[in-house]
Amino acid sequence: MISRAKGFAAAAAAVAATALMPATSAQATTSATYAEFFDNAGFCCSSIYLNGPTHCYNLPTYFVNVISSVKSNTRWKLYSRPGCWSDALLLEGTGDVSNVGSTANDRTISVQVS
């Protein structure tokens, strides 16, 4: 029998995993509005898939300061502070960017998908 504390921990982990789940590029083609952020240039390796529109996401610890490229069918913004503060905007764009450049590379803490 599972203890109540373990049951709550398992449920919380399941919710957290579905809220910001790393994804594959195949998922990007099935969503109406999306942005997929990659940890390497050229859309390589690990990624995190986020839906829009107009949402600010504080990145999970494992994806803070690692974004290097973006695949998207909408507008997106990268920020160097949590909460998408306007004075912390690093880069904004629409569509795919295979290299975010030295201004934003490995410096992103929150993103906005609109």
- Give the DSSP letter string of 60-109: PGGGTT---EEEESSEEEEESSTT--GGGEEEEEES-BS---TTTTT--S
Domains of the chain, CATH where assigned: 21-113 (2.60.20.10)
pTM above threshold 0.85: no
Judge contact between 48 and 72, C-beta under 8 A. Answer: no
Parallel, antiparallel, or unpaired: how do β-strands 34-40 and 44-51 relate?
antiparallel
Q: How confident is the model at residue 30 (pLDDT cuts 50, 70, 90)?
A: low
Residue 46, φ and ψ in degrees, nearest 5: -70, 150
Residue pair 109/80 in contact (Cβ under 8 Å)? The answer is: yes
The distance in angstroms from the start CA to the end CA of the chain is 45
Q: What is the pLDDT of residues 45-92, one digit of tens each?
A: 999 999 878 789 999 999 999 999 999 999 999 999 999 999 999 999
